[in-house]
Amino acid sequence: MDRFDNIPEQALDWHLAGRRAALATVVETWGSAPRRVGSQLAVSGTGEMAGSVSGGCVEGAVVTEALEALEDGAPRMLEFGVSDGDAFAVGLACGGTIRVLVQPVGEAFAPDLLQELVTARADRVAAAVISDPEGRVIEVTQQGYPERFRLDRSGFEDDGRFVAVHNPPLRLAVVGAVHIAQTLVPMARATGFDPVVIDPRDSFASPDRFPDTRILSDWPDEAVAEIGLDARTALVLLTHDPKLDDPALEAALAGTCFYIGALGSSRTHAKRLDRMREKGFDEGALARIHGPVGLDIGAANPAEIAVSILAEMVQVLRKGA
pLDDT tens digit sequence for 183-207: 999 999 999 899 999 999 988 989 9
- 96 and 185 share a domain? no
The residue from 119, 139, 166 where one domain ends is 166
- 36 and 160 share a domain? yes
Residue 82, pLDDT score? 59
What's the pLDDT tens digit per position in 163-186?
Answer: 999 998 899 999 999 999 999 999
- 64 and 105 share a domain? yes
Whether residue 202 lies inside any domain: the answer is yes
Q: Which domain holds residue 142?
A: 7-166
Q: Which residues contact 195 (CB under 8 A, 6 or more apart)?
A: 171, 172, 173, 174, 184, 185, 188, 189, 213, 214
**DSSP classification of residue 141:** E
The residue from 166, 197, 226 where one domain ends is 166
Whether residue 136 lies inside any domain: the answer is yes
User: For strand 214-216 and strand 194-198, is the pairing parallel, antiparallel, or unpaired?
Assistant: parallel
Residue 32, pLDDT score? 65
- 178 and 247 share a domain? yes
- 63 and 183 share a domain? no
CATH code for the domain in which residue 251 is found? 3.40.50.720
- Domain total for the chain? 2
Which residues of the chain fall below pLDDT 50? 1-4, 84-92
Whether residue 147 lies inside any domain: the answer is yes
Which phi and psi angles does 162 have, rounded to 5°?
-105, 130
- 79 and 122 share a domain? yes
- 79 and 204 share a domain? no
- Per the rule left: phi > 0, alpha: psi between -120 and 50, beta: everything else, 73 is left
- 17 and 108 share a domain? yes
In three-state secondary structure terms, 97 is strand
Give the other-Cβ count within 10 Å of 76's Cβ. 18
Whether residue 1 lies inside any domain: the answer is no
What's the pLDDT tens digit per position in 73-82?
Answer: 999 999 987 5
- 58 and 114 share a domain? yes
Task: Give the chain's length.
Answer: 321
- 119 and 200 share a domain? no
Q: Which residues contact 20 (CB under 8 A, 6 or more apart)?
A: 14, 44, 45, 70, 104, 105, 106
The residue from 166, 197, 227 where one domain ends is 166
**Interior angle at CA 119, CA 211 and CA 313, nearest 5:** 45
Q: Could you give the C-alpha distances from 182 to 95, 186, 207, 273, in angstroms and in order?
A: 39, 7, 11, 27
pTM attached to this predicted model: 0.74
- 44 and 131 share a domain? yes
- 287 and 310 share a domain? yes
What's the pLDDT tens digit per position in 125-172?
Answer: 999 999 999 999 999 999 999 889 888 899 999 999 999 999 988 999
Q: How many CA within 13 A on the CB side of residue 308?
A: 20
Give the other-Cβ count within 10 Å of 18's Cβ. 7
Residue 83, pLDDT score? 53
